[in-house]
């Protein structure tokens, strides 16, 4: 049965406020699962199963699926849809409030509600630091920022994500793949945690990055002046960074080096 038929059967209208754009058929769900390489050995967390189209494609792999859905109205539909699967566990709670402490090396596969993309990413990174993979459908613009290595889409978000993970675009999903059709394209992004991440104070580093990007059209020297005053030029020179460079043209490795070297200049 297609998503539209399930929704009709249970008389469910979709809510924009919950980011409810459901996959209309199993076509993209299957692609997402296949490109994520999910097997029956995996434990998969899904955020927002909706009418269960992606969930069912995941369940067919034999993996253990734990799905978190905030909308109680979907309960009877999902109960019927998964009555013959014993590897699907659905909890009706806000994912952002879910206790993830019992999960070991989970994989995330989800078409997430776009209005909470950043809090979801933070929760994944902070509460399940041993996660193996996160395949997430996000708005194209958001995906472009996750992927950018320089230029107009390069931002603190790019640095945050790429600091922890290798980032890869799997597919673009057009508006007609959803009910209702969104106005924008979506992309499926695969995040794989890096093995060796630099041993630095992450909170301080990300605060530093936000300051470095505080006025992105200005030079790095201008932005860092608020931290290092008249020492800014000297610090940049030590790092071989031209003081007229804009933050969007500084690589992550350069930022890490800059952060480490600048530490001895902090008041």
Q: Does 143 bind ligand SAM (CB under 6 A)?
A: no
Q: Does 56 bind ligand SAM (CB under 6 A)?
A: no
Q: Does 126 bind ligand SAM (CB under 6 A)?
A: no
Q: Are 96 and 121 in contact (CB under 8 A)?
A: no
Q: What residues contact 147, with CB distance under 8 A and at least 6 apart?
A: 153, 158, 167, 169, 189
Alpha carbon separation from 202 to 92, 93, 120, 209, 247 (Å, rounded):
33, 30, 18, 10, 19
How far from the centroid of its chain's Cα atoms is residue 111's Cα?
Answer: 10
166 is in an annotated binding site: no
Q: Are 41 and 64 in contact (CB under 8 A)?
A: no
Question: Nearest approach, Cβ of 22 to ligand SAM (angstroms)?
Answer: 4
- SS3 for 225? helix
62 is in an annotated binding site: no
94 is in an annotated binding site: yes
CB nearer to ligand SAM: give 30 or 225: 30
DSSP state of 18: G
CB nearer to ligand SAM: give 96 or 261: 96
Alpha carbon separation from 38 to 16, 32, 101, 108, 112 (Å, rounded):
30, 10, 22, 10, 18
Pairing of strands 133-139, 107-111: parallel
Instruction: Give residue number: closest CB to ligand SAM.
Output: 48
| Cα–Cα distance, 84 to 87 (Å, whole number) | 9
Q: Does 18 bind ligand SAM (CB under 6 A)?
A: yes
CB nearer to ligand SAM: give 47 or 88: 47
Out of 48, 106, 143, 247, the residue judged to bind ligand SAM by CB under 6 A: 48
Q: Does 121 bind ligand SAM (CB under 6 A)?
A: no
CB nearer to ligand SAM: give 111 or 223: 111
Question: Nearest approach, Cβ of 46 to ligand SAM (angstroms)?
Answer: 7
52 is in an annotated binding site: no
Out of 6, 7, 12, 19, the residue judged to bind ligand SAM by CB under 6 A: 19
Pairing of strands 64-68, 107-111: unpaired
Q: Does 185 bind ligand SAM (CB under 6 A)?
A: no
Q: Does 22 bind ligand SAM (CB under 6 A)?
A: yes
Q: Does 135 bind ligand SAM (CB under 6 A)?
A: no
| Cα–Cα distance, 55 to 182 (Å, whole number) | 21
Report the run of H or E that residue 167 belongs to, with start and end. Answer: strand 165-173
Q: Does 211 bind ligand SAM (CB under 6 A)?
A: no
- Nearest by Cα to 187 from 197, 175, 172, 177: 172
Binding mask 80-119 vs ligand SAM (x if CB under 6 A, - otherwise)?
Answer: --------------xxx--------------x-x--x---
Binding residues for S-adenosyl-L-methionine: 21, 23, 48, 69, 94, 111
Provide the binding-site residues for ligand SAM, judged by CB under 6 A: 18-23, 47-50, 53-54, 68-71, 94-96, 111, 113, 116
């Amino acid at each position: 049965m297609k998503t539209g038929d399930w929704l009709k059967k249970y008389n469910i209208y979709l809510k924009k406020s919950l980011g409810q754009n459901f996959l209309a058929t199993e076509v993209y769900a299957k692609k997402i699962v296949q490109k994520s390489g999910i097997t029956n050995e995996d434990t998969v967390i899904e955020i927002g199963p909706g009418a269960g189209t992606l969930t069912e494609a995941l369940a067919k792999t034999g993996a253990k699926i734990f799905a978190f859905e905030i909308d109680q109205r979907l309960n009877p539909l999902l109960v019927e849809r998964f009555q013959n699967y014993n590897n699907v566990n659905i909890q009706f709670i806000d994912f952002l409030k879910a206790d993830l402490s019992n999960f070991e090396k989970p994989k995330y596969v989800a078409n997430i509600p776009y209005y909470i993309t950043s809090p979801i990413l933070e929760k994944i990174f902070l509460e399940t630091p041993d996660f193996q993979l996160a395949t997430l459908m996000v708005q194209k613009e958001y995906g472009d920022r996750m992927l950018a290595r320089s230029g107009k889409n390069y931002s603190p978000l790019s640095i945050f994500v790429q600091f922890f993970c290798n980032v890869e675009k799997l597919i673009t999903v057009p508006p007609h793949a959803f009910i209702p059709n969104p106005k924008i394209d979506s992309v499926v992004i695969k995040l794989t945690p890096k093995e060796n991440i630099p041993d630095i104070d992450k909170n301080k580093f990300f605060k530093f990055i936000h300051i470095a990007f505080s006025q992105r059209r200005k030079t790095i020297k201008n932005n860092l002046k608020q931290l290092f005053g008249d020492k800014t030029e000297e610090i940049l020179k030590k790092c071989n960074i031209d003081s007229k460079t804009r933050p969007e043209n500084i690589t992550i490795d350069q930022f890490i080096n800059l952060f480490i070297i600048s530490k001895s200049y902090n008041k």
